[in-house]
C-alpha cells in the first residue's frame, strides 16, 4: 500500500465547517424533540426590547444605514479572501517546495489590502460615512427693529429685579409687611356638611 494521503489545509477548513453545521443542526433538532410547545398570544408576539410592539414596522429611517451596511458587507466579503491566503502563506510544505511563492503571496496580499484601504479612504473622503446632519437655518424676520436693540435690551439686566417668592399676599410681598401689623387669617370652614346614607339592605 502506498502512503496515506494527508489532508490539506483547505480540507481541514472544510471538516471544521461541516462539523460546525452538524453541531448546530443537532442542537436545533434536540430542541425540537425535547422541548414543550405550548403557544399563546404572549409567546407569539415579537420581542422588541421588552416593550409591546406598537404600530407598523414600515417606518422611515435614515438612508445612511443602507450605505453603511453596503460598505460593511463589501469589506467583510473581501476580507474572507485573507483566510485562504493565510493558509497558503503559512504552509511549510509550499515554502520548502517553492520559496518564491512566500514572497509572491506576501506582495500580492499587500496589494490587495492596499486596494481595500484606498477604497475605504475614497468612501471616507467622499462623505458616505458621515451622518446626515440637518442644515442650521438661522430664522429671519421682516421686522425693521435692528438686532442691536435686542442685544441692548438683553444686556440691561439691572433694570429688572426678581422678587423673592412668598406665600403672603401681593401687598405684603411688595413691602407693606413692615408697616401693616400681621393679622392671622381666619380658618375657613366648609360651606356644606357631608352626609352619608346607610344602605337600605341593612
Protein fold of 9-54+62-126: Methane Monooxygenase Hydroxylase; Chain G, domain 1 (1.20.58)
44, 65, 74, 94, 127 from 120: Cα distances, Å: 42, 17, 10, 33, 11
Give 201's pLDDT tier (boundaries 50, 70, 90).
low
25 vs 47: CA distance, rounded Å = 24
User: Could you report the per-residue pLDDT of 39-85, keeping only the tens digit for each?
Assistant: 888 777 776 666 666 777 777 777 777 878 888 888 888 878 888 78
Average pLDDT over the chain reads 76
124 vs 129: CA distance, rounded Å = 6
User: Could you report the per-residue pLDDT of 103-119, keeping only the tens digit for each?
Assistant: 888 888 889 889 888 98
Cβ-proximal residues to 164 (8 Å cutoff; 6+ apart), any chain: 173
Cβ-proximal residues to 166 (8 Å cutoff; 6+ apart), any chain: 172, 173
127 vs 64: CA distance, rounded Å = 11
Residue bearing the bigger pLDDT, 122 or 160:
122
Cβ-proximal residues to 104 (8 Å cutoff; 6+ apart), any chain: none
Across the range 152-156, mean pLDDT stands at 77
Give 1's pLDDT tier (boundaries 50, 70, 90).
very low
> What pLDDT is stored for residue 120 in this prediction?
85
The residue ranges of every structural domain in the chain are 9-54+62-126
- Grid cell in block for residue 177: 409687611
Contact indicator for 86, 93 with CB cutoff of 8 Å: no
Contact indicator for 68, 124 with CB cutoff of 8 Å: no
> How many residues does the structure list for the chain?
202
Across the range 4-29, mean pLDDT stands at 88
- Please give the DSSP secondary-structure letter assigned to residue 51: B
> What pLDDT is stored for residue 166 in this prediction?
75
Percent of the chain with pLDDT over 70: 72
Q: What angle do CA 55, 58, 60 make, to 5 degrees?
A: 110
Amino acid at each position: 500500500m502506498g502512503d496515506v494521503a494527508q489532508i490539506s489545509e483547505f480540507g481541514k477548513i472544510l471538516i471544521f465547517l461541516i462539523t460546525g453545521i452538524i453541531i448546530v443542526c443537532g442542537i436545533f433538532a434536540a430542541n425540537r424533540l425535547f422541548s414543550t410547545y405550548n403557544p399563546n398570544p404572549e409567546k407569539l408576539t415579537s420581542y422588541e426590547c421588552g416593550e409591546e410592539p406598537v404600530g407598523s414596522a414600515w417606518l422611515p429611517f435614515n438612508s445612511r444605514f443602507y450605505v453603511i451596511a453596503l460598505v460593511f458587507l463589501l469589506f467583510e466579503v473581501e476580507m474572507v479572501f485573507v483566510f485562504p491566503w493565510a493558509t497558503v502563506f503559512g504552509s511549510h510544505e509550499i515554502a520548502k517546495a517553492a520559496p518564491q511563492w512566500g514572497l509572491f503571496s506576501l506582495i500580492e496580499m499587500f496589494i490587495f489590502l492596499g486596494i481595500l484601504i484606498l477604497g475605504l479612504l475614497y468612501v471616507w473622503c467622499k462623505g458616505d460615512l458621515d451622518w446626515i446632519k440637518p442644515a442650521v437655518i438661522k430664522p429671519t424676520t421682516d421686522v425693521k427693529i435692528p438686532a442691536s436693540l435686542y442685544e441692548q435690551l438683553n444686556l440691561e439686566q439691572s433694570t429688572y429685579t426678581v422678587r423673592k417668592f412668598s406665600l403672603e399676599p401681593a401687598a405684603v410681598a411688595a413691602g407693606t409687611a413692615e408697616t401693616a401689623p400681621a393679622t392671622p387669617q381666619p380658618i375657613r370652614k366648609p360651606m356644606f356638611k357631608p352626609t352619608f346614607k346607610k344602605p337600605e339592605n341593612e
